[in-house]
């Protein structure tokens, strides 16, 4: 968990190098659906473009089917889900049915002003999803992905007005999950501003 721009996707990518488990990002799944024009993608697009949350029923159905895929059988890391208390409750039900438990809910903490600075300068590869930043970590060749040579673009929802809406949605709808996982004793707080290794260290301590 964490506000938009906290670095959830970037850190999850790093964690995955250490623990080869499925990285399941609801944002990535939704963007793939938008790109390929599925029914889900068409329904989700207007919410995503506005920086609002896609309705819980669509997300929960999508995650139910994703968590039943083969690669999730040996563990997974959820990125961007759950984002509402209703989603967290649905996840609990789903995990109960699967006979498994969450190890931890990691909260990446970053201040709003840093989020705005980060996201307005964020760029992503439209082919492989690699994440860049025009200030801190740009591509070697302008607009071309270092990893796959795909075209590197700005996400439609990374403009300042949409970012402000995403932040207010985060504070209103997702922040209450902090209490939810705190009560369950699962919450681990990590600074999203700290050195990249910090999330790995945190995860390693959970594993031990
Ligand atoms: P992200 O890539 O995680 O920043 O997600 C991009 C957008 O996808 C969000 O602003 C929402 O519109 C939508 N989205 C992603 N995950 C969820 C979720 N768990 N619940 C509702 N909407 C979501």
Q: Are 146 and 130 a contacting pair, CB within 8 Å?
A: yes
Q: How far is the CA of 208 from the centre of ligand 1 (A)?
A: 31
* pTM of the predicted protein model: 0.87
Q: Contact 135/13 with Cβ under 8 angstroms?
A: no
Q: Which domains does the chain have, with CATH numbers?
A: 8-21+74-203 (3.40.50.300)
12 lines ligand 1 (CB under 6 A): no
CB distance 191 to 109 below 8 Å: yes
> pLDDT tens digit string along 129-175?
898 999 988 999 999 999 999 999 998 889 999 999 999 999 999 99
Shortest CA distance to 92 belongs to which of 176, 197, 190, 177? Answer: 177
CA distance 182 to 185: 5
Please report the sign of the dihedral spanned by the C-alpha atoms of residue 135, residue 159, residue 23, residue 183. Answer: positive
Pocket residue to mutate for ligand 1, from 2, 8, 30, 47, most atoms within 8 A of Cβ: 30
Q: How far apart are the first and last CA of the chain?
A: 21
Residue 43 has pLDDT above 90, yes or no: yes
């Amino acid at each position: 968990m964490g506000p938009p721009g906290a670095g959830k996707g970037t850190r999850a990518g790093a964690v995955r190098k250490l623990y080869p488990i499925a990285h399941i990002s609801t944002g990535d799944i939704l963007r793939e659906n938008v790109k390929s024009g599925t029914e889900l993608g068409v329904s989700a697009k207007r919410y995503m473009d506005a920086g609002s949350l896609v309705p819980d029923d669509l997300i929960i159905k999508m995650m139910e089917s994703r968590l039943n895929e083969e690669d999730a059988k040996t563990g997974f890391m959820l990125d961007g889900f759950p984002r509402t208390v209703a989603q967290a409750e649905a996840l609990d039900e789903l995990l109960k049915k699967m006979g498994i438990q969450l190890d931890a809910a990691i909260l990446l903490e970053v201040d709003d002003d840093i989020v705005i600075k980060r996201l307005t300068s964020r760029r992503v590869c439209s082919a492989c999803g690699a994440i860049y930043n025009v200030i801190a970590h740009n591509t070697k060749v302008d607009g071309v992905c270092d990893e796959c040579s795909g075209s590197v673009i700005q996400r439609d929802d990374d403009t300042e007005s949409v970012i402000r809406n995403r932040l207010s949605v985060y504070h209103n709808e997702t922040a209450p999950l902090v209490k939810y996982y705190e009560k369950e004793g699962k919450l681990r707080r990590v600074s999203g501003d700290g050195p990249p290794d910090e999330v790995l260290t945190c995860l390693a301590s959970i594993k031990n």
